[in-house]
Amino acid sequence: MHLLYIDDDTQAARHLVDQLSELTPAWTTTCCKTLLDAERAITSTRIDVMIGKPKIQGDPTEKLFKLMADTNPGAIRIMAENLFKSRDIFMPTILVHQYLLAPVDVRKLLEIVNRLRKLMTEIYSEPLQEIVGRIDSIPSLPALYSEIVTEINKPSGSLERVGVIISRDLQMSSKILQLANSPFFAFNSKVMDVGHAVFVLGLNTITGMVLASGIFSKTSLFSVSGLDADALMDHSVNVGLLARSIALKEGLMRDMVDVSYVAGFLHDIGRLVLADKFPDEYGDARSYAWEYRAPILDAEKAIFGVDHAQVGGCLLGLWGFPDEMIEAVYRHHDPATSNDRMATPLTAVHAANAIEKFESASSVFSNMNQEEKGGTPAIHCEYLEQISLDHRPDTWRTLYQDSQVSLRDAYFRGSERNF
């Protein structure tokens, strides 16, 4: 493994090299304290891991991260920051895989590198790349989402302007106001306008709603594949909000709560892509599931060679989302394949998906039939033992049961579809 470390702090660089030499003597480390030296190293050497700060000697390192992405696309790119700042998880960047607090904790670094290498090896496997390569066009991010992200990243960007952008979309404005005034968030006063809703819900929640709604709104009912997109949306809404509740209950940091929320919304995005791009084959997968009484996951593997979770994780990777979100989607049916040793967004999404499917199987509020649901999988016991949370499922089920009134109020008023 060849690590490129870019830092104008000579003492910090020496400390990192000493620690790495002790823990991983097989690693080679190149340290650069100027942008020019780093550029030369990137263009002349194969790099496996790159660590850099946002600025070196006052100059931004963004171009270096882009150069690394272009010249060493398989390298793991890590940004180290002196002060921890929750990143905007909705920024569709392909430049940085992970953020670390500086000075870098070498043991944490090794844990991250091992996890990312494992995930990237799986995502870029030949069968998955083959099926993704057959997709003639990757679905684009919704226009409203892109406009909001652009506004957020302007030097003069403001919450007020985000509210104005959303207000131009009457349907989305209605959805956001309903959510802000639902018992689920339990605010003390009535939220009367979108600008206020953006402030009280936060950009992560707002942007997650816009993203999920925009993707699903582009998808019609698939007459050939037979997939019920409306029913899948209902399930995804419930999983997203339950994943958020579980993440909060388990004490995840705020940015990881947000990752859990959006990953829960998007955990089945691979099903939409497969059904949209390959309707005949997806219809065959549904027939296979019906004939053999098999989970839809197994049927997808029988027909495509991969399943919707893998396709969804790969899609989020192409969109440039954080690796925690990619992993939560990619592994939500098989979390024990992760290196988790504690609760993560994957924990929240996996548990939320299993609980929602089981609890809503006979619910009048769910119109996704059992075959479409792909069965009612149990929470993975081996995984829960792996992260020492095998005693928590009953608590998580209570979160689901307690939230149902709030969720119905937020999303199902009368016969009107609100999401």
- Three-class DSSP labels, the chain: CEEEEECCCHHHHHHHHHHHHHHCCCCEEEEECCHHHHHHHHHHCCCCEEEECCEECCEECHHHHHHHHHHCCCCEEEEEECCCCCCCCCCCCCCCCEEEECCCCHHHHHHHHHHHHHHHHHHCCHHHHHHHHCCCCCCCCCHHHHHHHHHHCCCCCCHHHHHHHHHCCHHHHHHHHHHHCCCCCCCCCCCCCHHHHHHHHCHHHHHHHHHHHHHHHCCCCCCCCCCCHHHHHHHHHHHHHHHHHHHHHCCCCHHHHHHHHHHHHHCCHHHHHHHHHCHHHHHHHHHHHHHHCCCHHHHHHHHHCCCHHHHHHHHHHHHCCCHHHHHHHHCCCCHHHCCCCCCCHHHHHHHHHHHHHHHCCCCCCCCCCHHHHCCCCCCCHHHHHHCCCCCCHHHHHHHHHHHHHHHHHHHEECCEECC
Residue 218 above 70 pLDDT?
A: no
* Nearest CA among 382, 378, 388 for reference residue 250: 388
Question: Is residue 13 one of the residues assigned to a domain?
Answer: yes
Per the structure, how many domains does the chain have? Answer: 2
Amino acid at 317: G
Most confident option among 79-93, 130-144, 277-291: 277-291
Domain end call among 90, 123, 156? 123
| Same domain membership, residue 382 and residue 258 | yes
pLDDT tens digits for 138-159? 555 667 777 887 787 677 778 8
Is position 273 within any domain? yes
Q: Which domain holds residue 119?
A: 2-123
CATH, residue 287: 1.10.3210.10
Q: Do 232 and 112 have their domain in common?
A: no
277 versus 416: which is more confidently predicted?
A: 277
| Contact criterion met (CB below 8 Å) for 416 and 402 | no
367 pLDDT higher than 50: no
- Shared domain for 250 and 389, answered yes or no, is yes
The residue type at 226 = G
Asked, for residue 145, whether it belongs to a domain, the answer is no
Look at residue 377 in the predicted model and tell me its pLDDT. Answer: 61
Kindly state whether residue 73 falls inside one of the protein's structural domains: yes
Q: Which candidate, 200, 210, 201, 329, places its Cα nearest to that of 264?
A: 329
Q: Is residue 58 part of a domain?
A: yes
76 forms bridges with which residues in the sheet?
Answer: 49
In this structure, the answer to whether residues 110 and 226 fall within a common structural domain is no
Q: Is residue 151 domain-resident?
A: no
Domain boundary among 74, 98, 123: 123
Q: Specify if 53 maps to a domain.
A: yes
pLDDT > 60? residue 94: no
Q: The domain spanning residue 17 has which CATH number?
A: 3.40.50.2300
Are 222 and 113 in the same domain? no
Higher pLDDT, 123 or 313: 313
Last residue of a domain, one of 102, 123, 144: 123
pLDDT band, residue 365 (cuts 50/70/90)? very low
Asked if the structure places residue 252 within a domain, the reply is yes
Distance CA 65, CA 85 (A): 19
